[in-house]
Structure 1
């Protein structure tokens, strides 16, 4: 059995409440001294609604308590004890699940932050690459214009050369 407040394993003595919850003596004292409300179900508690119990009673105590009690009462008591135990295990499982869910949420938040950081890095890299591509396109366009101009100049020079060669050939034939 575990304390329903701190979830430490109970050893020896504990305090049970009329609302069906079990606490270590330290947490029971805190409940009474603070707001006197059960931290599990918020039922208002008083010292009279909280009873100390022995978690592991010895056989002599069990025999003494059970002596002279009718089987119907024993069965009713056993049923209540089993239901209390099942309720405690259910509370323990809920607390574990809440803890696991909390851890998962923290991990999800951390993963979301990492994802956001990575997406920002990718976006920044994408923007840099887009600017670089734009600069390369402008450079390519500029080089294409230069090539066009050089081709035109080359064509013009080639025409001029041909003309000069023709003129040279004409002069040569005249001589």
Structure 2
């Protein structure tokens, strides 16, 4: 079974090659990490077990030479060779098991994070959809209000145009009447001034004669006075 052991340090987790440090508590560390940790204290960095014995920590070669393989168990009885091999296989099996447990923990942790993220984003999406529906409703309401405002604006604009036309009509009538009134007043002033210019110095007596008792209103007026008095009376009658 192809399996590459990794450093049991949580901060390292490096695939092992070359030399490594093995402990009696069945843990293995890369050469750099093991040397650094075991120079500080004789305790396992993974489980904190006490490693005070001389053979509790050994440095091994993960790629031993053929000569080393030939000599490492040479002269040992078969039962010793088998026991050493069994313990070596047990160490390797423990490392495989620990790695599987660690990977399962990592996977479960990743799944938990994934589930949390999915729930979070589902809530975000739900809130976003709610906000979107609310905005759509507000847009629809605003659109209806805008349409109603446009209708009212068109109605008010139509009424304003009609009132402007009425105002222009009334203004035109007013200007016409004003010009007519000014023309009549100017004509009356002109007649009055002309009449006053052609009367004689004794006009009070003549006016008295004009109202004489013989019933003839202009019996004693001169032709010029009769002409202007007739014009003046005609203007006054039309203006009234």
Corresponding residue of 1:56: 63
Corresponding residue of 1:70: 77
How far apart are 1:83 and its partner, in Å? 0.5
Describe the shift of the 1:71–1:79 C-alpha distance in structure 2 as closer, same or farther (beyond 3 A).
Answer: same
Tell me if structure 2 keeps the 8 A contact 1:32–1:47: no
1:98 aligns with 2:115: no
How far apart are 1:131 and its partner, in Å? 7.1
What is the TM-score when the length of structure 1 is the normalising length? Answer: 0.65
Corresponding residue of 1:30: 36
Give the distance between the partners of 2:128 and 2:72, measured in 1 at CA. Answer: 71
Tell me if structure 2 keeps the 8 A contact 1:7–1:92: no
Corresponding residue of 1:4: 8
Deviations 1:96-152 (A, max 9, x none): 22222232223222222211111212333455567789x7xxx9xxxxxxxxxxxxx
Structure 1 runs not aligned, ≥5 long: 140-175
SS of 1:66's equivalent?
A: coil
Length, aligned pairs only: 137
Structure 2 runs not aligned, ≥5 long: 146-240
What is the TM-score when the length of structure 2 is the normalising length? Answer: 0.49
Corresponding residue of 2:129: 122
Query: Equivalent of 1:17, from 17, 23, 28?
Result: 23
RMSD: 2.8
Which stretch has the larger CA shift, 109-118 or 38-47?
Answer: 38-47
Bigger radius of gyration: 2
Moved beyond 6 Å, runs of 4+: 129-133
- Structure of greater relative contact order (alpha carbons < 8 Å, 6+ residues apart): 1
Give the distance between the partners of 1:3 and 1:55, measured in 2 at CA. Answer: 13
Q: How does 1:76-155 map to 2 (within 5 A)?
A: 76-127=83-134
Give the distance between the partners of 1:111 and 1:47, measured in 2 at CA. Answer: 51
